[in-house]
Amino acid sequence: MDGVRVVLTYADYVTLPDDGRRYEILDGELAVTPAPGRRHQSIVGELFSLLHAHVKARGLGQVFVSPFDVILDDTSIVQPDIVYIAGARLSIVAERGVEGAPSLAVEVISPSTRQRDRNAKLQLYARHGVPHFWIIDPETRSIDAYVLRSGAYVLEAHAAGDDPLRAGPFPDLAIPTPTFWA
């Protein structure tokens, strides 16, 4: 049976243990990472608070924070750190998670997820039509905001150090990045 690839599905995913680890299935392959650390969670909390307030005040849709499943298809189930679903697409939000491509997926890089977030997830999100993808890198104190054009991501905005981030799907929001690096 050498060379036979086992493809995992959503049915396999729901049987995984609730043991504090983060499980995702990327194109049928299991990805496991430890629970995120303090710095990671602090950044996620700050950004979620900002986006949630902005979205709620303007009635733009809904923002969710991980762990919350995004079921891109039966063999790709991910848990981005933050997901935003625009109001016109709220029908894809179910009790079990987001069933389809969210309007925005945000990943905060941890040492154990750096390669996966910048490569495999970037390609996966593009292939499944996620219009906006942000990568926050605490080590370099930077945020890269990508927009999907013709099936591939193009860098829309880059914020480094204390530069605010202005990017889709929230062009009218200047995100004050120094709060992330404190």
Task: Give the pLDDT band of residue 2 (cuts 50, 70, 90).
Answer: low
Reduced to 3 states, what is the DSSP secondary structure of residue 167? strand
- Cα–Cα nearest to 132, from 141, 122, 120: 122
pLDDT at 105: 98
Give the chain's domains with CATH numbers: 36-181 (3.90.1570.10)
pLDDT in tens, 17-31: 888 788 999 999 999
d(CA 176, CA 43) in angstroms, rounded, equals 12
76-78 vs 70-73, strand pairing mode: antiparallel
Q: Estimate the share of the chain in helix, then strand, then coil, as percent rounded to the nearest 5.
A: 25, 40, 35
pLDDT in tens, 107-158: 999 887 788 888 889 999 999 999 999 999 999 999 999 999 999 999 999 9
pTM, full prediction = 0.92
- Cα–Cα nearest to 79, from 31, 119, 8: 31
- Token digits of residue 121: 């997830």
Give the containing element (helix H, strand E) for 43: helix 38-58
